[in-house]
Amino acid sequence: MKLRHLQILVAVVEQRGISRASDHLNVSQPAVSAAIRSLEDELGVTLFERANSSKGVRPNGQAIKLYHHARDILRRCDEAKTSVMRPDKRRPKVSLGVLHTLAPMEIAKAHSRLVKTARQWRWSVCEGAAIWLSGALEKRQINLAWGTVDQGEARSKVLWREPFVAIVAKDHPIAKSGRTSIRIGDLNNDRIILRGRCELPRNALQDAGLTIRPAARADRDEFALALAAQGLGFVIAPRSLATVDVAVLPVDDLNLVRSIGLRWHKETSPELVEAAIGTLAA
């Protein structure tokens, strides 16, 4: 009998189905089903009553009995491992999901600060789109999500808000004019470099009065900014993405901002949340 099979059995019972257990463990549904079949073949009993779909499985009495033994076995394995583990390995691992349109250098600096100041946890960072962060947080694949946050969203904290600005080449006529800000109409004769990862709702720029004349579409923000730096068009992006080789033009009548903050699930410890907020807000 393999420990992995017992872990899967526990997940199927606690998540009340193969599909949810699959999401919880981040493994395929066929792998979960195969593990259950392997246990049933080894024990010579049926453990779950199967409905018409994988979501409808229900544990029978034999499964519940094995579930309690499995929980005890897995707990003892964890205790045994902890008792001989090197002290630095005993720290809980924390996975921080990061929105892929945050400035890379700021992510690296924040990760470094977390490692140095919140040493009671082992930190890892992974990046992804907003929709992936939400799904990964719900499935407990990450502990915390650092990205866009809606005002008033449960179990979340807004850390800062930043405006969307126009980013152009340093030798762009408006940049060289010395103006400290522009209006959206000033850009209508130029071509835009569209960001494939833009956080704005569809048609938000058109609704703001911008005429869309695409020069390029870039999936990577650094590519979009590189094109802008060469004078091939302008980019509308959060201010923090601007690099030293471009000029930033605030747009007075472009009332678009993004709220960046931290989200967590209900099982996250308050101490972890407090430590992460304190470090990221800095």
Average pLDDT over residues 260-274: 92
CA contacts within 13 A on the Cβ side of 85: 13
CB atoms within 10 A of CB 113: 15
pLDDT in tens, 18-57: 888 887 777 888 999 999 999 999 999 999 987 655 456 8
* AA letter at 189: N
Give percent of the chain above pLDDT 90.
62
The residues, ordered by sequence, that sit 6+ positions from 190 with a Cβ below 8 Å of its Cβ are 168, 213, 233, 234
The residues, ordered by sequence, that sit 6+ positions from 270 with a Cβ below 8 Å of its Cβ are none
The answer to whether the beta carbons of residues 44 and 33 sit under 8 Å apart is: no
Phi/psi for 105 (5° steps) reads -65, -35
What are the residues facing 48 on neighbouring strands? 59
d(CA 17, CA 8): 11
pTM above 0.75, yes or no: no
What letter does residue 14 receive in the DSSP assignment?
A: H
pLDDT in tens, 97-130: 999 999 888 899 999 999 888 888 889 999 998 9
What pLDDT band is residue 89 in, cutting at 50, 70 and 90? low
Q: Tokens 């600096």, residue? A: 109
Residue 261 has pLDDT above 50, yes or no: yes
pLDDT in tens, 202-232: 899 999 999 999 999 999 999 999 999 999 9
d(CA 147, CA 134): 10
Integer CA distances (angstroms), 118 to 14, 100, 175, in order: 31, 23, 42
What pLDDT band is residue 236 in, cutting at 50, 70 and 90? very high
The answer to whether the beta carbons of residues 91 and 122 sit under 8 Å apart is: yes
Phi/psi for 168 (5° steps) reads -135, 175
Average pLDDT over residues 137-153: 90
Structure tokens at 22: 């699959």
Domain layout of the chain by residue ranges: 3-84, 89-159+259-281, 163-256
Give percent of the chain above pLDDT 70.
95
Specify the pLDDT at position 54: 46
Is pLDDT larger for residue 201 or for residue 164? 164
At the second CATH level, the architecture of 163-256 is 3-Layer(aba) Sandwich (3.40)
At the second CATH level, the architecture of 3-84 is Orthogonal Bundle (1.10)
Average pLDDT over residues 224-246: 95
Structure tokens at 7: 């872990």
At the second CATH level, the architecture of 89-159+259-281 is 3-Layer(aba) Sandwich (3.40)
d(CA 1, CA 42): 8
The residues, ordered by sequence, that sit 6+ positions from 204 with a Cβ below 8 Å of its Cβ are 256
Opening angle at CA 261, ends 260 and 267, nearest 5: 150
Same topology between domain 3-84 and domain 163-256: no
Strands (E), the chain: 48-49, 58-59, 93-99, 122-128, 144-148, 156-169, 192-195, 214-218, 235-238, 246-249, 257-264
Of 171, 175, 149, 159, nearest in space to 249 by CA: 175
Integer CA distances (angstroms), 260 to 84, 162, 242, in order: 41, 8, 16
d(CA 4, CA 129): 31
